[in-house]
Structure 1
Amino acid sequence: MSNILHLRAALGSILASTALLPVTAYGQQSEGSGIDALSAEIVVTARKREENVQTIPLSVSAFSGEAIEARGIDRIDGLAAFTPNLTLQNNPSFGGAGSSAAIYIRGIGQKEFLPTTEPGVGVYVDGVYVARSVGALLDLVDVERVEILRGPQGTLFGRNTIGGAISIATNKPNDTAGGKFSVTTGRYSRVDVKGMASIPLGETLFSKVSFASFNRDGYVRHLVDGRQLGDVGTLTGRLDLRWLASDSFEVNLSVDGTRDRNNGPAMVLSDVTYASAIFNPQGLPLLPPGSASTPGAYVLNPPFDAPTDNFTLLHNYFAALLGGQPCLGFAPYSPQSNAPACFSDRFLVGDNATAGTAPQFARNNLWGAQVTLDWDLGAVQLKSITAWREVDGDYARDGDHSPFTILHLSDKLMQNQLSQELQLLGETADKRLKYVFGAYYFREKGNNINSLDFTPVTFRSGGRFQTESFALFGQATFSVTPAVSLTAGLRYTKDDKSFLPDQEILVDKTGGALIAASPNTPQIRILPFATVRQSEDALTPTVTASWTVAPDAMVYGSWSRGFKSGGFVQRVFPAQASVPQFGAETAEAFELGFKTQFFNRMLTLNASAFMTRYEDLQVQVFTGIAPVTKNAASAEIRGLELEARLSPGDGWFLEGSMGYIDPEFTKVDPAAVEITRASRFERVARWTLSGAVSKSVELADGGNVMGRLDWSYRSGMFMDALNSTELFQPGYHLINANLTWNLPGDVVALTAGITNLTNKQYMQTGVYGASFGLFEKMFARAREWSVGAKWTF
């Protein structure tokens, strides 16, 4: 209720504030709604010019805004159910950011949110690259379309699109006055409100204001105060202006922002290990210090046997030897007890609760502005995209889920980015040669401070970061014959990065046993307070051949390379003499595919087969207290994809997809002892399947009802590079259903829906830190119902 009251008070200002979310005009639907929207062909800009998705030799899954709405999807991760070989999950940061996108396409991606590590799949909104995964799990308030490009897009998209790209396009204001308003309620006290008004300001000047509020209770109870983790409290607003300065010159301006507040991610403690290679590794009965060596028993030897490789056991070790608590049973040996000062399995309180007592919250403020200029110069078209984006985040969470201080984390992230892109598009040789040339500049800087309070030590991690990137690119398509086309492109990228670590040990609670410092001595540097730099460049070409064998049938083959720049290991402990770095990773992809339509375009069938050589993988592993990134391996990835849509008439629409992927490590660095040639890729399911059926019925009064049932399946996958058994998610099926009743006149529509119909429990993310002995999981939401109303005016 407080969020709703706050919305009413802030509504006037939020419309003029800013957001990352793509909030667009409701009144600009061009494809209709319901079955028409699902079956309509889509025009995309995957090659920087408008083309029918069925005519471009690329693996693209494209969804119009109306088709997304008809599928009952309200957030971008919902598209993963219908897109082959796509993993798109909410992966809360190690420090507690409640919304952080982990995106993998064809086995390539990244789950780390730290600004010193780049994502493996590029996210773009109206052509603007979104650098940070915090805030990239976008609520789909309303969009013109979403394009999911699979495979390296290193030529035209360029920046860190080694795995693929997700491109979101918003609707532009136009000369039609009108708007739309909707309200949705449902389980967990859900109240979502969305609205838009399109207001022409003159014959050539148009405006649009949009807003949205999303509110939902959490689903994991924070026992100490009764709060619910995993809740939603988001406000967003956007202002768009469009000026048709002349027949050949157009200006589009947008200013948008988001305010997000929640109680932190819905993480729960799922298991604990008390094993240590230092203290009593065989689990033998204990003997007091000073006892004679006895076969079959372990003689305590404090402080030299302090289990600094397992902080949970270390807590009990301290409590027993320094506090006289019964945390270590002697005969038989037990590393835990239920005494008040001891950590034990009693804190495993289930999948819907946590016993942590440290602060837990996630607060994000995101805003930005963008100006796009389009000139039609006759023979060529020139486009300029200038954008500014900013993130201000503050996060905290209790990673040990207990009243003790074993794993307490907090993060502060300040980030801003400036980007400028110029594109020159044209046609020549009697329109047989189409080309695009461009230049791109990107600058990102900020400060990310991590405060960490662990059993043996309290310290500050993180630091200041900056990235400058410059690129030149070009691509041309030549029609050898009306049926055969050749495309070639090349991009040169130069990245310059710097990192100033601001990392200090504040308290050594071990009395010097863990680190070479006097106990409780502050201001001990973990890394030198000196700026480190990294420079990399890359050439990323692409070559494609396509053959239109019939009016509605095309086959194609392509070769492309992708590049993802390296970075710095930001979280370091114990102290080191220099900042660990990792280099760029590269991918070389080969693909064969076809796109076909049959029976007067009632049936659409697209398929592709691919093989990717993946070099210098940036793998996130736990080698100490925190996860670190290493260039640890090389791999080959093979796979298949199939997408089908059928519109047989009489109000029916059927669709399905299949993705198969087989990634295999071909080489593993001997120093990377955490993975082997037999290891599985994290967060990559071998099979992704989906199917859906929709039916629209026209009513006698002029209205219509459309029902939809969809199913998806994802085979088993590990949530970490270590392939921890506890963090393996078995294969699972999901079923959703929705119903829309459009009243006569197409002004009012009533909706009802159910997600996760069978109430399947499955993980969205999992975390294991060997230094803590703790396994954490975050499950997806259980079955939810919703009802809503929409009004178009």
Structure 2
Amino acid sequence: MLKPSFTLLFLIWGFSLCAQTSVNFQGQVLHGSLPVENSRVTLLNLGVVATTDKAGNFEIRSLSPGTYSLQISALNYASLVIEIAIGRSTGKSQFQLQPVSRQLNEVVVTAQKTQTNLQNTPTSVSVLDAQDLQNSKIWYTDNLSAITPNMYAGHSGDYRTVNSIRGVVTTSYDPAVATYIDGVNQFGLDTYIAQLGDLEKVEILRGPQSTLFGRNATGGVINITTTESDNKSGGYIDLSYGNYNAQRYVASIKTAILPNKLLLSASGMFLKQDGFYKNNFTNSSYDDQTTVQGNYHLKYNVNNRLSFGINFKHQQQNNEGAFPLSDDASGAFSQPFVLDQNAITQMRDRTFNASVSAKYYHPQFTLTTQTAYQENYRYYTKPIDGDFSPFDIITVINNYGKSYNKVGAFTQEFRFASPATDSDFSWQIGAYGFLQDDPVKQGTHFGEDARMYGSPMTNFTSINTNLGKSYGLATFAHLTYKMSSKLDVTAGMRYDYEHQKQNVKGEFVPDGGAIMVTRTDTSSVASFNALSPKLALSFKATTKNFLYLSYSRGFRAGGISQLSAEPSEPPLVAYKPEYSNNFELGSKNTFLNKKLRLNLALFYMRLSDVQVPTLILPDAITVTQNTGELNSKGAELELSAVLLKGLRLDYNFGYTSAKYKNLILENQGNNVNYKNNAQIFTPRTTSFLGMQYQFGLSKQYKLLARGEWKSIGKQYFDLKNTISQSSYNILNARLSLKSGQKELALWGSNITNTRYISYAYNFGAAHLGNPKTYGLSLISKF
């Protein structure tokens, strides 16, 4: 697929040489009568950025006449999004900005893979910009829980986060909520980067998004954008230290190597933390962690129409005790953060992502192409404890060399879109493809005390090898037609085809003995296809009030079951894709001269062919079957307000009732229908209240005080609804002193030290959420 990609790049290079009729656009950015220097002026969907001079003036050259969407942002000012007609007779335009202490930002999102105003986008989206992420100390994706309505995220200690939105969730390695980083689909939990550094923005799209985002966007999308290069040089250093010897050091720089031509940005992050858990067996902390991460962007602007980009990301995480789990929920609370395990190991987790992209802006269309590769290699240096006890019962081995447990995925997308100028008809069409290699080899060792587990034998290893290969192709179209100045209709369709092949092999190895084959090398193939339609009607009652009614469908890819030690779960059995159908009514409103924003949504979702994953012990292999139908309904509220100068309030509320219409599970050898059981990892309610007040101590110093309250309702962690966590509250706080581009902040998370289960397996093992943490951060921008 690389050859067609680069052939197309050369073609669009040639197209870019064609001369086009153009005009120049001049403007001035002011606050009252005062010019605003260093304002960033962006023509949306065109990739054109200008910066104002000392007089607040800017100029953008060589534009095709038409109506454009313009975003203007500046430090300490609320961003502005406005439509403007640019033609031959357009004079110098003036734009007024207001201080962010008096007005809310107007937000641009990419929920439809084009840049649009949040308040005119017919889907439920929550947005956190770089300042929001800093103020709320969003260091990991699980920190996003409850900040956006009806979202929950948790992990079992290895930071591979299970994300749930509106009751759509899974504990398998193919997620139900897709995560995109810089336009690249993080293909599965194996290639997923959960640690967040140097971010520009995070968007959380709620409801199925498969029409544009494809596979595994059944519940929604987490769309993460890191800081990219531009023509203005700058950067920052963020140094943080906290209890548990927590250290987080982030450095970022961006510069123009060749002004307006060759642009570079680079960032690095170092994370280190002593474990929250103590292992009584070794009388030491259990889950000490160290992470090193890098992110590099290089952009080359051939001219004002054609640009190329290269991005590399890498991360290495060393975890001195992955999966810090108590035997059951009661043990987690009676002896919090205490373990007693004899098998000690280090998990080494290495991830590499790379992408090459090109954008070409033609007067009649915009072409975007992106080629990406992602890879993850994760292994345990020694066997990891599989029984969570001080006895030599079961350990799990996966260190069989780099030929195994090294997952790779190659993706390619081509997308044509209507030009950036506004018209009655806008469109997108495209194609997507992927190749995935997933070789897994894992051994389960039964030790000297294996008879305590019921094993008739001791001191042997059962080895299962599962070699998975898959590829897929998709085409999609997304159209919006303006029926009138107030009414729009949007329609979309996507067709996906996937082919998978799985090879399995079973082996038995007595300690010190020869290998015996228990299952010869056997393979199976399966193919799946899916249609993902979308339809939306949107009505702009006024410039400040927007209504929409939508239907969308999402799908989660099917697959083939792996080989495990459980004879009742045969391998090489295909399971079908899972489908979600979402009906949504939403209202987006801005009041009081942009001081108040209120967005509301009601939804009803039906999931069919629900994929139910079962963790097979002691192998720790997930087997998936289509055994359920689920109905989910609920409501969401998002409110942001500037109450007084410098005083801001954010409140979000979500309600979800997600219950199974049918759910067939095995119970003591019989199939039982657990109809009306609640979905897992789905709190009944989520609430978030954030308040912050910034005021000046003097002309040089400002003080910001922020408090946050999170409330997460009761939820279950197993489908039989026997393992649960009652509703709980978390309080966070931040106090920062600012002087120019420097900031010193004191922060605390879970300051009341609430004990709660954040993740539990269906067999009972539970992981507690983080205890009280606090520390200092020193931030310097330049």
Short-chain TM bin: 0.7 to 0.9
Aligned partner of 1:631 in structure 2 is: 626
Q: CA deviation at 1:445?
A: 0.5
Alignment correspondent of 1:382: 367
Q: Aligned with 1:679: secondary structure?
A: coil
How far apart, in 2, do the equivalents of 1:362 and 1:603 lie?
47
- 2:561 is aligned with 1:533: no
Q: Which residue of 2 aligns with 1:792?
A: 781
Contact 1:85 1:688 in 2 (8 A): yes
| 8 Å Cα contact 1:266/1:779 also seen in 2 | no
Match of 1:662 among 640, 657, 661: 657
- 1:237-248 alignment to 2 at 5 Å? 237-248=294-305
Structure with more contact order per residue of length (Cα contacts < 8 Å, sep ≥ 6): 1
Counterpart pick for 2:472 among 469, 478, 485: 469
Tell me by how many angstroms 1:79 deviates: 1.8
Shift of residue 767, structure 1, vs aligned partner = 2.3
Partner of 1:44: 109
**Mean alpha-carbon deviation: is it higher for 705-714 or for 404-413?**
404-413
- Residue of structure 2 equivalent to 1:317: none
1:474–1:525 CA distance, 2 compared to 1 (3 A):
same
- Cross-structure match for 1:164: 220
1:419-447 Cα shifts (integer Å, max 9, x gaps): 11011010599700000000001111031
2:268 is aligned with 1:211: yes
- List alignment gaps of at least 5 residues for structure 1: 1-26, 93-97, 274-344, 510-518, 770-774
Partner of 1:650: 645
- The residue number in structure 2 matching 1:410 is 397
Shift of 1:718: 1.4
Contact kept, 8 Å, 2:326 with 2:767, in 1: the verdict is no
> Could you tell me how far 1:670 is from its partner in structure 2?
7.1
TM-aligned CA distance change 1:178 to 1:578, over 3 Å? closer
Question: Structure 2 vs 1, CA of residues 481 and 272 (structure 1 numbering), >3 Å: closer, same or farther?
Answer: closer
Equivalence map 1:60-71=2 (5 Å): 60-71=125-136
Cα deviation, residue 571, structure 1: 4.7
The two structures have a TM-score, normalised by structure 1, of 0.80
CA distance in structure 2 between the aligned counterparts of 1:650 and 1:622, rounded to whole angstroms = 53
8 Å CA contact 1:587–1:613 kept in 2: the answer is yes
Q: 2:718 maps to what in 1?
A: 720
Aligned to 1:426: 418
Give distance in 1, aligned partners of 2:243 and 2:77. Answer: 25
Q: Give the deviation of 1:520 after TM superposition.
A: 8.0
Q: How many residues align?
A: 666
Residue 131 of structure 1 corresponds to 187
Contact 2:504–2:563 at 8 Å: present in 1 too? no
Kept after mapping to 1: 8 A contact 2:156/2:324 = no
- 8 Å contact kept, 1:752–1:785: yes
Within the candidate set 346, 352, 361, 1:367 is matched to 352
Per-residue deviation at 1:62? 1.1
Pairing 1:16-35 to 2, within 5 Å after superposition: 30=73, 32=75
Q: Deviations over 1:12-64 (max 9, x none)?
A: xxxxxxxxxxxxxxx99955369939942221111111101111010011111
The yes-or-no answer on 1:107 pairing with 2:167 is: yes
SS of the residue 2:209 aligns to: coil
Question: Aligned residue for 1:276?
Answer: none
C-alpha distance in 1 between matches for 2:155 and 2:615: 20
- 1:96-150 superposed Cα distances (whole Å, 9 cap, x missing partner): xx2211011111122223xxxx211111011111112135352221212111111
Q: CA deviation at 1:567?
A: 1.3
User: CA 1:577–1:196 in structure 2 vs 1: closer, same or farther (change >3 Å)?
Assistant: closer
Work out whether 1:778 is the aligned partner of 2:771: no
User: How far apart, CA to CA, are the structure 1 residues paired with 2:615 and 2:129?
Assistant: 41
* Most deviating of 429-438 and 590-599: 429-438
Amino acid at match of 1:538: A
- Quick check: 1:661–1:686 contact (8 Å CA) kept in 2? yes
Distance, in Å, in 2 between the alignment partners of 1:248 and 1:583 is 43
Q: Deviations over 1:529-550 (max 9, x none)?
A: 1221110001110000000111
CA distance in 1, matches of 2:417, 2:315: 34
Out of 223, 235, 240, the position equivalent to 2:292 is 235
| Distance (Å, rounded) in 2 between the aligned partners of 1:530 and 1:360 | 32
Structure 2 counterpart SS, 1:787: strand
Cα distance in 2 for partners of 1:698, 1:470 equals 56
Q: Give the letter for the 1:664 counterpart.
A: K
Q: What CA distance in whole angstroms lies between the structure 2 residues aligned with 1:570 and 1:447?
A: 11
Runs of 4+ in 1 over 4 A off after TM superposition: 27-31, 427-430, 519-522, 575-578, 622-627
What percentage of aligned pairs have identical amino acids?
Answer: 24
Corresponding residue number in structure 2 for 1:261:
318
1:41-440 to 2 correspondence within 5 Å?
41-92=106-157, 98-113=158-173, 118-134=174-190, 136=192, 138-203=194-259, 204-265=261-322, 267-271=324-328, 350-395=335-380, 396-411=383-398, 413-427=405-419, 431-440=423-432
Distance 2:235 2:577 in 1: 47
Structure 1 residue 624 displacement after superposition: 6.4
Q: Distance in 1 between matches of 2:242 and 2:348?
A: 24
For 1:733, the equivalent position in structure 2 comes to 729
In the TM superposition, 1:581-592 aligns within 5 A as: 581-592=574-585
CA distance in 2, matches of 1:466, 1:32: 49
**Partners of 1:776 and 1:135 in 2: how far apart?**
25
Q: Is the 2:494–2:531 Cα contact (8 Å) retained in structure 1?
A: yes
Letter in 1 for 2:731: I
Which runs of structure 2 are paired with 1:702-713 in the superposition (5 Å)?
A: 702-713=700-711
- Residue identity opposite 2:659 in structure 1: E
Q: 1:287-322 CA deviation, whole Å, 9 max, x = no partner?
A: xxxxxxxxxxxxxxxxxxxxxxxxxxxxxxxxxxxx
Whole-Å Cα distance in 2 between the matches of residues 707 and 674 of structure 1?
A: 53
Counterpart code for 2:684: R
Cα distance in 2 for partners of 1:41, 1:258 equals 34
* Cα distance in structure 1, aligned partners of 2:184 and 2:410: 10
- Distance in structure 2 (CA, Å) of the matches to 1:42 and 1:166: 17
Equivalent residue for 2:589, pick from 589, 596, 599: 596
For 2:385, the aligned partner's letter is: D
1:478 aligned residue: 481
Rounded to whole Å, the distance in 1 between the matches of 2:287 and 2:231 is: 41
CA displacement at 1:361 relative to structure 2? 2.4
Inter-partner Cα distance in structure 2 for 1:571 and 1:752: 50
**Corresponding letter in the other structure for 2:632:** I
Secondary structure, counterpart of 2:650 in structure 1 = strand
Matched AA of 2:139: D
More strand by proportion, 1 or 2? 2
Bigger CA drift: 488-497 or 446-455? 446-455
Q: 1:700 to 1:645 in 2, by over 3 A?
A: same
Superposed CA deviations along residues 503-533 of structure 1, whole A, max 9, x for unmatched, are 32334x9xxxxxxxxx98842424x412211
Q: CA deviation at 1:650?
A: 1.2
Query: What RMSD, in angstroms, separates the aligned Cα atoms of the two structures?
Result: 2.6
Secondary structure of 1:450's aligned partner: strand
2:104, 2:594 within 8 Å by CA — same for their partners in 1?
no
Whether the 8 Å contact between 2:532 and 2:554 is mirrored in structure 1 is: yes
Q: TM-score w.r.t. structure 2 length? A: 0.81
Q: CA separation of 1:352/1:523 partners in 2, compared to 1, >3 Å: closer, same or farther?
A: same
Partner of 1:764 in structure 2?
Answer: 758
Structure 1: distance between partners of 2:334 and 2:191: 30
When structure 1 is superposed on structure 2, of 426-435 and 354-363 the one drifting more is: 426-435
* Cα shift readout 1:184-226 (whole Å, capped 9, x = no counterpart): 0010011111111223211211112211101110011123334
2:694 to 696, 700, 703: 696
Provide closer, same or farther for how the CA distance between residues 31 and 108 of structure 1 changes in structure 2, counting only shifts above 3 A.
Answer: farther
The one-letter amino acid of 1:209's match is A
The CA deviation at 1:756 is 0.2
